Amino acid sequence: MSNVHYYQVDVNWKEGRIGELTSPDLNDTIACATPPEFNKGVPGVWSPEHLYAASINSCFMATFLAIAENMKLEFSDFSCRTTCKLEYKDGVFCITEAIIEPNIDLTNTEKDCDKGVRVLEKAKKACLITNSMKTETILKHNLAIPENVV
C-alpha cells in the first residue's frame, strides 16, 4: 500500500449561495452553502464550517475505532460531538478551537476506563485531520461502565 493517497471533491454552484459537493469516488452528493450567520447565508444546509467539524469528528471516530480494536478495548457504544469555534482574528475569519467530546460505553470493569482514556488520547494524537490543521483541539471524554460491573 502506498503512503500517498489523493481524495478529490468537486463543487458545482447551483444558485444563490448554494453548491453541491460530489466526488468521483462516492455515490452521494452533499448540498453546501454559506452559513446563515453570514450575508445571504442559507439555513438548514451543510456549510464549510459544519463540514470542517464533520471532518474532525469522522476522522477521530475512524482513528478511535482502529486503535480500540488494536488495544482490544471492549465497548458497546461510541458517539462524539465536535464543536468548532469561528472567530474574526487578525483581520480574517478562522476556526480557532475544536472541542471533541466522545462518549463511550465500556462493556467491562472499571480497569478499562484507564485503557479507554489511553485509546482516546492516542486517537487524538493520531487523527490525521487534526494533525493537518492549525486549529487548537481539546479532548473532553466521557467513559461509562455498566452499573452491574465492578
pLDDT tens-place string over residues 3-62: 999 999 999 999 999 999 999 999 999 999 999 999 999 999 999 999 999 999 999 999
DSSP 114: H
**With bands split at pLDDT 50, 70 and 90, how would you rate the model's confidence at 73?**
very high
Residue pLDDT, tens place only, 86-143: 999 999 999 999 999 999 999 987 778 999 999 999 999 999 999 999 999 999 988 8
In this predicted structure, what is the pLDDT of residue 150? 46
Given a contact cutoff of 8 angstroms between Cβ atoms, the answer to whether 65 and 41 are in contact is no
Please say if the pLDDT value at position 148 is more than 90. no
Q: How many residues does the chain have?
A: 150
Contact residues for 94 (Cβ-Cβ < 8 A; gap 6+): 86, 87, 135
List C-alpha distances in Å: 128 to 16, 36, 84: 33, 29, 17
- Domains of the chain: which residue ranges? 1-46, 48-144
In this predicted structure, what is the pLDDT of residue 2? 85
* CATH number for the domain running over 48-144: 3.30.300.20
List C-alpha distances in Å: 70 to 1, 63, 74, 84: 19, 11, 11, 29
